[in-house]
Amino acid sequence: MSVDTAALPADHGAGHHDVHPVRKAAMWVFLGSECIFFGSMIATFLLYRNTTADGPTAREVFNVPFTSASSFVLLMSSLTMVLAHNAFERRDARQLRVWLTATAMLGATFLAGQIFEFTEFVHEGMTLRVSPFGSAFYMLTSFHGGHVAVGVMLLTAMLILSLSGRLYADRGLNVELVGLYWHFVDIVWIVIFTVVYLLQV
Amino acid sequence: MTGAIRSPGGRGVWAWLTTVDHKRIGLLYGVTAGVFFLVGGLEALLIRFQLAQPNGNVLSAEAYNQLFTMHGLTMVFLVVMPVAASFTNYFLPILVGARDVAFPRLNAFSYWLFLFAGLMVYSSFIVGGAPDGAWVGYAPLSTQITETVRMDFWAVGLNLLGVASIASSANFIATVFTMRAPGMTMLRMPVFAWMALVVAFLLIFSLPAVSIGLFQLLLDRNLGTLFYEAAAGADPLLWQHLFWVFGHPEVYVLVLPAMGIVSEILPVFSRKPLFGYPFVVFSGVAIGFIGFGVWSHHMFTSGMGPLAEVGFGVSTMIIAVPTGVKIFNWIGTIWGGRIRLATPMLFSLAFIAMFVIGGLSGVTHAVVPADTQQHDSYYVVAHFHYVLFGGAVFGYVAGVYYWFPKWTGRLLDETIGKWHFWLMLIGFNLTFAPMHILGLNGMPRRTYQYGAGLGWDTWNLVATVGAVVIFVSFVVFAWNIIRTHFLARGTLAGDDPWDGRTLEWTISSPPPVHNFDVVPVVHSLDDFWHRKYAEDEEGRPVAMPALIGADGDDHEPGADAIHMPSPSYYPALASFGLVVVGYGLVYLSWGWIATGIGLAITLWGFFGWSLEPITKEH
């Protein structure tokens, strides 16, 4: 695996030699934008939290112990992401692959839990079309799930790159940026879990 | 510095398709916006022909709805925003002393996505009718008629354009924060660079809100969700909030870059520094912040209740203060200067005058009882055209006259320019000033016919005549550009035709690919001016001939290995994939295949892009 930045052309075309602040600045800006993206959906959910029309209410369908377990899984993936980044910084390819795999698996487990949960809810009569509450719930949680899925894909891509020895620190796809993204998606879930699940039952 | 500045990237169309040069991308934005401007202008002309006389029958009601919707959408998203992006792309890196934007390929991606999304929205004319629910697309009107795909095109197209804008905004912010030349502190940046930065932040934090609203509309229309279904207890007013919390900052997105351009032009043509530079900068920043707290003044008639109405009325009056500060600073800049009334200066002065009129009629909207009368009348149409045409468009045209020599090496003709200016100023006022009267006399917006004998006939005819004059003025403008550039009959400009103050005038016209042979070291605001002129005891500029054009001796050596990023077709590919996804979403009920194919293309583009070396081996 080659993560030796010193051996790579450092100049990315604009007279700057350290590429990381540039990428990190843009990533932070993008995450700021994502805050409004999720904030708008959370606002919609809060507006419609009691607008259940003929459908079931939050109290009737939510299974908080189950969702707590899957939330725990997702939060643990932040820990493994930190370990992966740490291994990357130490140029420890073996550890990096172990923790990347663990992070991706935990993310996939969370997604599986979400799919299971959605199936249960639909069986209990809460669908996209039954109430504004249902629409807002599914939009918010599935857009978050989509972000987790993108994260799992990025982690898998990095794993493959690492195995083929093409994971460079200066490319668009690097461990630090994916780590930032992954932690952000986890933090958003903490808000969603609190606002959507804990406060509604 | 000879040899490998940029690896070869093909010729002709392929070179433009794969370009990652911020200057070329800036020109692409500008030319594309120019074409959309022609289309949007023709739409406006058709609207005016329809309204020239009572009971007009140039257009059917259906066609009229499509045309005013597309006129608004085009002018906002496909003309003014990309024109601002064009200036920002071309000049932001140069003004802060960088060789390119932070992410050249992301920049190309933004452009191609803008182009493809614009074409996609316009393709709706061919496949069953264009969006017809106004550019604001109020629910539940926009969610109800689901048999046609018109508003789906609008929702998806706006979302794709939003992705392009967020990408370019992140790019500009990263450029300003991390790539300024040595000594270019934030408070030595030209005002235009500052305004571009504020605009980027406005877009970053406002677009996601409307994006969610657009997704909700799309889901309501295609998957049967109930976000805006009042019968199920939903609140369609949510749409107005999500739209305007984006839509009002958007107004500043459209006009702040023009204010930045005018703040560059006035000092140059008055031969004085900008009066109160920090005030101009920070009032721009203040507009950015307060701009997020005024959105509900678009909703005074929607029944929000007196508390919200008073709150937003007051915040709207407050935001007029930083705007007023800027206007006084511009007047202070001109005051006592040695004014040259060249075409860029004329347009800048008209910008100030027209913007003041639009700003004042805007303050009348802040007064809730007055606004209740003016709402959805032609008074509102008059107001926002004074701000966005009299303001923004005059500012951008000033920018074209000012920077054309930097783009092409030739000056636009002054005589033709003055014809253009006077025709445009007269035509503009003929068109939009009568609309104040029409609106106060009760003429409603977005209505395709009006009866005779309501007292609206004369002013409507005047407005239509004015619209034709505006059109003629832009024909003159186009001729000026063709004559100067394509027929090469314009005067050669040299590096610094206006005796400028900022870094773009230190380099050749047009600039070299890498902008600066040696990255400049900046010592003050208006650095280039201070390299040319000292001041006498009374503050008048005194030329320092010895230093003109000299590089100085304070540059760090060793900047001779310039590697510009290589051309890449992946950005265009990725954006093309996203537009295929867009078509899939428009025909959501059976478009999953297109969505899948589009996603695959996009991923191919993104991964190819992430993995290719930035600078290819030569």
Q: What is the mean pLDDT of residues B208-229?
A: 95
Q: What is the pLDDT of residue A172?
A: 63
Nearest by CB to A32, which of B174, B204, B215? B204
Q: What is the pLDDT of residue B574?
A: 96
| Tens digits of residue pLDDT in B563-618 | 788 899 999 999 999 999 999 999 877 788 999 999 999 999 998 888 877 665 44
Residue B2 pLDDT more than 80? no
Q: What is the pLDDT of residue B589?
A: 72
Task: Look at B174 and A166 and tell me if their CB atoms are within 8 Å.
Answer: no
Q: What is the pLDDT of residue A20?
A: 62
Q: What is the mean pLDDT of residues B454-470?
A: 96
**B169 interaction partners in chain A (CB closer than 8 Å):** 29
Could you tell me if A9 lies within 8 Å of chain B, comparing CB atoms?
Answer: yes
Nearest to B192 by CA among B101, B123, B112, B258: B258
Q: Select from A8, A11, A34 the residue whose CB has the most chain B CBs within 10 Å, as the one to mutate to test that interface.
A: A11
Task: Look at A25 and B209 and tell me if their CB atoms are within 8 Å.
Answer: no
The answer to whether B269 and B342 have CB atoms below 8 angstroms apart is yes
Task: Look at B226 and A12 and tell me if their CB atoms are within 8 Å.
Answer: no
Could you tell me if A37 lies within 8 Å of chain B, comparing CB atoms?
Answer: yes
Q: Select from A5, A12, A38 the residue whose CB has the most chain B CBs within 10 Å, as the one to mutate to test that interface.
A: A12
Q: What's the pLDDT band for B57 if we cut at 50, 70, 90? A: very high
**B214 interaction partners in chain A (CB closer than 8 Å):** none
Q: What is the pLDDT of residue A11?
A: 38
The percentage of residues in chain B with a pLDDT greater than 90, rounded to a whole number, is 84
Right CATH for A18-200 from 3.90.740.10, 3.10.450.30, 1.20.120.80, 3.40.50.12280:
1.20.120.80
């807002």: which residue's tokens? A136
Could you tell me if A117 lies within 8 Å of chain B, comparing CB atoms?
Answer: no
Q: What is the pLDDT of residue B146?
A: 75
Could you tell me if A29 lies within 8 Å of chain B, comparing CB atoms?
Answer: yes
Q: What's the pLDDT band for B7 if we cut at 50, 70, 90? A: low
Task: Look at A53 and B102 and tell me if their CB atoms are within 8 Å.
Answer: no
Could you tell me if A22 lies within 8 Å of chain B, comparing CB atoms?
Answer: yes
Q: What's the pLDDT band for B546 if we cut at 50, 70, 90? A: low
Q: Select from A2, A8, A29, A184 the residue whose CB has the most chain B CBs within 10 Å, as the one to mutate to test that interface.
A: A29
pTM exceeds 0.90 for this model: yes
Of B92-96, B128-132, B327-331, B374-378, where does mean pLDDT reach its minimum? B128-132
Q: Which helix (H) or strand (E) holds B491?
A: strand B491-492
Give the alpha-carbon dihedral of A53, A55, A74, A30, to 10 degrees.
Answer: -30
Q: What is the pLDDT of residue B539?
A: 73
Q: If you measure CA to CA, which chain A residue comes closest to B104?
A: A13
Q: Count CB atoms within 10 A of the CB of residue B462.
A: 18
Residue B548: both structure tokens together? 């003109």
Inter-chain CB pairs, A–B, below 8 Å:
143
**Separation of CA B103 from chain center:** 20
Q: What is the rounded CA–CA span in Å between residue B560 and residue B22?
A: 21
**B5 interaction partners in chain A (CB closer than 8 Å):** none
Q: What is the pLDDT of residue B542?
A: 85
Q: Which residues of chain A have pLDDT under 70?
A: 1-20, 169-172
Nearest by CB to B104, which of A13, A132, A166? A13
Q: What is the mean pLDDT of residues B65-70?
A: 96
- For residue B172, report the phi and psi dihedrals to the nearest 5 degrees: -65, -40
Give the alpha-carbon dihedral of B214, B217, B222, B227, to 10 degrees.
Answer: 130
Q: What is the rounded CA–CA span in Å between residue A68 and residue B489?
A: 73
Nearest by CB to A172, which of B178, B209, B609? B609
Q: What is the pLDDT of residue B73?
A: 96
Could you tell me if A55 lies within 8 Å of chain B, comparing CB atoms?
Answer: no
Task: Look at A26 and B234 and tell me if their CB atoms are within 8 Å.
Answer: no
Residue B243: both structure tokens together? 């739209």
Distance from the Cα of B562 to chain A's closest Cα (Å) equals: 7
Q: What is the pLDDT of residue B166?
A: 97
Burial group, residue B298, by CB count within 10 angstroms (0-12, 13-18, 19+): buried
Q: What is the rounded CA–CA span in Å between residue A66 and residue A113?
A: 8
- The amino acid sitting at B583 is Y
Could you tell me if A164 lies within 8 Å of chain B, comparing CB atoms?
Answer: no
**A169 interaction partners in chain B (CB closer than 8 Å):** none
Q: Which helix (H) or strand (E) holds B534?
A: strand B533-535
B30-519 CATH fold: Cytochrome C Oxidase; Chain A (1.20.210)
Q: If you measure CA to CA, which chain B residue comes closest to A11?
A: B563
Task: Look at A173 and B178 and tell me if their CB atoms are within 8 Å.
Answer: no
Q: What is the pLDDT of residue B545?
A: 65
Give the alpha-carbon dihedral of B89, B95, B97, B101, to 10 degrees.
Answer: -10
Q: What is the pLDDT of residue B423?
A: 98
Q: What's the pLDDT band for B562 if we cut at 50, 70, 90? A: confident
Q: What is the pLDDT of residue B167?
A: 96
How far is the CA of B298 from the CAs of A56, A112, B242, B293, B432, in angstroms?
Answer: 36, 44, 12, 12, 20
| Distance from the first to the final alpha carbon of chain A | 49
| Mean pLDDT for chain B overall | 92
**A44 interaction partners in chain B (CB closer than 8 Å):** 212, 216, 227, 238, 242
Q: Select from A19, A27, A35, A36 the residue whose CB has the most chain B CBs within 10 Å, as the one to mutate to test that interface.
A: A36
Task: Look at A34 and B216 and tell me if their CB atoms are within 8 Å.
Answer: no
Q: What is the mean pLDDT of residues B207-228?
A: 95
Residue B207 pLDDT more than 60? yes
What's the full length of chain A, in residues? 201
Q: What is the pLDDT of residue B558?
A: 46
The answer to whether B407 and B27 have CB atoms below 8 angstroms apart is yes
Distance from the Cα of A40 to chain B's closest Cα (Å) equals: 6
Q: If you measure CA to CA, which chain A residue comes closest to B613?
A: A171
Q: What's the pLDDT band for B297 if we cut at 50, 70, 90? A: very high
Residue B532 pLDDT more than 50? yes
Q: What is the pLDDT of residue A30?
A: 95
Task: Look at B242 and A40 and tell me if their CB atoms are within 8 Å.
Answer: yes
**Rama region for B34: left / alpha / beta (φ>0; ψ in -120 to 50; rest):** alpha
Nearest by CB to A48, which of B99, B234, B613? B234
Task: Look at B519 and A166 and tell me if their CB atoms are within 8 Å.
Answer: no
**Separation of CA A198 from chain center:** 20
Could you tell me if A90 lies within 8 Å of chain B, comparing CB atoms?
Answer: no
Q: What is the mean pLDDT of residues B294-298?
A: 94
Q: What is the pLDDT of residue B591?
A: 85
